[in-house]
Amino acid sequence: MSRRIGTYSDAVAIPTSATQVALSATPEVRPDRTRPEDVAEEARQASDSVCQALRSAGAELSDIVQVRSWLTDPEDIDACLKVRKDVISHRPVYMLAVVPQLIRPSLHLEIKVTTVVTHSAAKQRG
């Protein structure tokens, strides 16, 4: 089904010998707590924040098996999907929802991911 409508997988098997890393929903706020100027920059900032959080937990973007995203404006979908395709080159399972508001009204986008780090990948990283 997924190949008919997007670049994601319908299902991903998680080996029992792997370590799962779950990342809290990550908004598009810069390190200095300011917000980016447009939705594409918001999506890139959120992706950068996801990447940094994953690395701190011993995971990488390529370890992502599930992405969940929330937007507050349906007009932002195309811009956010383009950034996601630029950032994530493999096909994790994926969900995108448009909601009326996030926890803070000033936020327009949040991303939440789950990763799986196999023991062989962890050894290679070192």
This prediction has a pTM of: 0.82
Is 13 among the domain residues? no
Total domains present in the chain = 1
Is 3 among the domain residues? no
Is 1 among the domain residues? no
Q: Which domain holds residue 79?
A: 24-125
For residue 15, the model assigns a pLDDT of: 77
Amino acid at 17: S
Is 16 among the domain residues? no
**Distance of alpha carbon 106 from alpha carbon 117, whole angstroms:** 34
Q: Which residue has the higher pLDDT, 123 or 19?
A: 19
Q: Is the pLDDT assigned to residue 123 strictly greater than 60?
A: no
CB neighbours (10 Å) of residue 50?
24
Is 59 among the domain residues? yes
Closest to 115 (Cα-Cα) out of 25, 18, 45, 16 = 18
High-pLDDT (> 90) share of the chain, %? 50
Tell me the pLDDT band of 107, cut-offs 50, 70 and 90.
Answer: confident
Is 6 among the domain residues? no
**Distance of alpha carbon 115 from alpha carbon 63, whole angstroms:** 5
Write the CATH number for 87. Answer: 3.30.1330.40
